[in-house]
């Protein structure tokens, strides 16, 4: 039984982690951390948990937690995990950080895009970027795991095979992404009120969103050289789901069957990546509540571009589900344990 502590259990990602771990046959939650709700019953914050969780919220004491937990999940704003982690903590427990603190190898890049200084750069090198489908082996032995961002997970998995295989020109990649509103978090802001989000769509963080360098770094590894891309997120009036529509110019003459065979080669054995049938576009409704990423592509003969698409649940594969998938690998459990979730529709 893996004893898990959660710091930041009262955000949307933290709560989804609770939902998944409660249904996980080999995990047990020992710490519901939430600075905002200390001593409050967890079910008073999330009434879906009534009669399921009796524990009260605790503070963010990572040292105390390290003594009790086999793994600590940090589902907290940027900077917190980096400020709490230490060699002592890592000697006692594993950390799966759902924030961005350890995702980017170049500390200057991190500090520039996030606008904060990194409190423990000495752990960056050790940290493993936990996109299981690409880094599976390194994940298994990680002490400090950087759980990928929601947009990066969907973007990278949609585009990765064609970059890696040299099918598309890395300098032409444009990623237009759309996210449900749970991605904006649970803090009380006017911009996230129902009446402000409902019946609306907008782009935000145009040419400046923090997930850009994370996507660039990972796709750069695939390309074998640094690359620079356009990334535009949009806010959609729905609770969950991310859809990525990515564009790139072909580098060589290639037909749709060949591209399809590449996707199938990369993902045919991947349980959580479904390569859809020809002509079927990914839709967020078909993955909701599950750990799947649905991907597909369309070759446009007229423009010599390929349109790559991916859909996933931002709170599952884009956050808590992927974190559990990483936990499973790190503790030698079956990778899909607790994640055999049939997508819930409608």
Site for a second copy in 144-203 (CB under 8 A): 174, 176, 178, 180-182, 186-190, 192-203
Q: 93 or 245, CB closer to a second copy?
A: 245
- Nearest Cα to Cα of residue 90 among 72, 74, 102, 106: 72
Q: 1 or 47, CB closer to a second copy?
A: 47
**Cα→Cα distances 309→247, 284, 337, Å:** 9, 11, 27
In whole angstroms, what is the distance from residue 247 CA to residue 176 CA?
8
Provide the 8-state DSSP code for 319: I
Say whether residue 305 binds a second copy (CB under 8 A): yes
| Binding mask of the shown chain, residues 12 to 31, with x at each position contacting a second copy by CB under 8 A | x--x---x--xx--------
In whole angstroms, what is the distance from residue 216 CA to residue 152 CA?
9
Say whether residue 136 binds a second copy (CB under 8 A): no
Say whether residue 116 binds a second copy (CB under 8 A): no
CB of 321 to a second copy, least distance (A): 12
| Part of the chain binding a second copy (CB under 8 A), chosen from 57-65, 101-109, 148-156, 334-342 | 334-342
Can you tell me which of 28, 48, 67, 115 binds a second copy, judged by CB under 8 A? 48
Q: 89 or 273, CB closer to a second copy?
A: 273
| Binding mask of the shown chain, residues 53 to 92, with x at each position contacting a second copy by CB under 8 A | ----------------------------------------
In whole angstroms, what is the distance from residue 209 CA to residue 26 CA?
37
Judged by CB under 8 A, the chain residues 217 through 246 that form the site for a second copy are 228-230, 232, 234, 236-241, 243, 245
Q: 23 or 261, CB closer to a second copy?
A: 23
Judge whether 276 and 296 are in contact, CB under 8 Å.
Answer: yes
| Part of the chain binding a second copy (CB under 8 A), chosen from 64-72, 73-81, 131-139, 300-308 | 300-308
Judge whether 123 and 144 are in contact, CB under 8 Å.
Answer: yes
Provide the 8-state DSSP code for 49: G
Q: 32 or 123, CB closer to a second copy?
A: 32
Can you tell me which of 90, 119, 281, 337 binds a second copy, judged by CB under 8 A? 281
Q: 61 or 249, CB closer to a second copy?
A: 249
**Alpha helix ranges (H) inside 75-165:** 80-84, 87-92, 107-114, 132-140, 150-164
- Residues annotated as catalytic are 150
CB of 99 to a second copy, least distance (A): 20
Backbone φ, ψ for residue 295 (5° rounding)? -125, 155
Task: Please give the order of strands across the beta sheet that includes 2-7.
Answer: 27-33, 2-7, 71-74, 94-97, 144-146, 128-129
Say whether residue 286 binds a second copy (CB under 8 A): yes
Backbone φ, ψ for residue 188 (5° rounding)? -80, 100
Largest CA distance in the chain: 62
Say whether residue 260 binds a second copy (CB under 8 A): no
């Amino acid at each position: 039984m893996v004893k898990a502590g959660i710091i930041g259990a009262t955000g949307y990602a933290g709560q989804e982690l609770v939902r998944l771990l409660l249904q996980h046959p080999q995990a047990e939650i020992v710490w519901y951390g939430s600075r905002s709700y200390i001593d409050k019953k967890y079910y008073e914050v999330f009434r879906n948990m009534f009669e399921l969780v009796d524990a009260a919220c605790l503070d963010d004491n990572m040292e105390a937690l390290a003594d009790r937990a086999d793994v600590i999940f940090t589902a907290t704003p940027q900077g917190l995990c980096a400020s709490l982690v230490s060699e002592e903590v890592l000697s006692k427990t594993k950390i799966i950080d759902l924030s961005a603190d350890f995702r980017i190898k170049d500390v200057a890049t991190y500090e520039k895009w996030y606008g904060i200084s990194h409190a423990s750069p000495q752990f960056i090198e050790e940290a493993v970027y936990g996109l299981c489908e690409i880094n599976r082996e390194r994940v298994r032995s990680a002490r400090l795991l950087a759980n990928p961002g929601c947009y990066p997970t969907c973007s990278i998995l949609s585009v990765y095979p064609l970059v890696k295989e040299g099918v598309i020109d890395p300098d032409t990649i444009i990623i237009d992404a759309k996210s449900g509103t749970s991605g904006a978090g649970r803090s009380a802001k006017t911009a996230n009120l129902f009446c402000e989000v409902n019946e609306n769509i907008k782009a935000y963080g145009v040419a400046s969103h923090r997930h850009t360098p994370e996507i660039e770094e990972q796709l750069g590894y695939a390309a074998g050289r640094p690359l620079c891309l356009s990334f535009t997120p949009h806010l959609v009036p729905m609770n969950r789901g991310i859809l990525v529509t990515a564009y790139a110019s072909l580098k060589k003459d290639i037909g749709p069957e060949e591209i399809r065979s590449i996707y199938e080669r990369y993902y045919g054995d991947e349980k959580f990546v479904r390569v859809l049938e020809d002509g079927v576009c990914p839709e967020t409704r078909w993955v909701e509540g599950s750990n799947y990423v649905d991907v597909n592509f369309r070759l446009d003969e007229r423009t010599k571009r390929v349109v790559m698409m991916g859909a996933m649940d931002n709170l599952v594969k884009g956050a808590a589900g992927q974190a559990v998938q990483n936990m499973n690998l790190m503790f030698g459990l079956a990778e899909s344990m607790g994640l055999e979730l049939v997508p819930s529709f409608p």
